[in-house]
Amino acid sequence: MVISLLFHLAVPLLGQQMDSQLRGEWNLNVGKSSFGPGPAPKAGHVSWTEHGWAFAIITPGGIYADAVMTDNGCTLIGVPNEYSCAIQLLTPRHLRFTMKEAGAVRRVGDIELLDKNTTKTTHRVTPKDGESFTETTIWERESE
């Protein structure tokens, strides 16, 4: 599972740059989020830097973590080699993260900065086995 966020890309996409307010530490608001099949995570955290992001969630089954480097496009860390990713900047406050498994799209996440302390990610998930589903996650940071 990759619930992903991004901040300021090293290479501007579409002549734009990501809003710098996406940089920082974000915590999953489980109560305001909706998840697909299976149990919801207990907690989640994303740390954004100028090089990409690191992501971790605590689930009833344990801890899951991965990362994305954005210095030279999109590189996944901590996932099997058959997975790849792409990032498209739609506006400075909205990006699309696409993850593929051996060429098949498995997850498309629209990440939107709602305000300086809230992001929303809508994930359209197509598992290898099973029905497609949508997850909507809300990520917050403490007010400055």
β pairing state of 62-69 and 52-59: antiparallel
| Domain parsing of the chain, residue ranges | 20-140
- Which CATH superfamily does the domain covering 20-140 fall into? Calycin beta-barrel core domain (2.40.128.20)
- Kindly report, residue by residue over 20-61, the tens digit of the pLDDT: 999 899 999 999 999 999 899 999 999 988 899 999 999 999
Residue 95, CB half-sphere, CA atoms under 13 Å: how many? Answer: 27
Q: Which of 131, 140, 53 is nearest to 97 (CA)?
A: 53
Residue 111, token pair as written in the block: 């990440």
Residue 109: strand pairing partners: 97, 123
Weakest mean pLDDT among 15-19, 68-72, 114-118, 132-136: 15-19
For residue 11, CA distances in Å to 4, 36, 40, 44 come to 18, 33, 35, 28
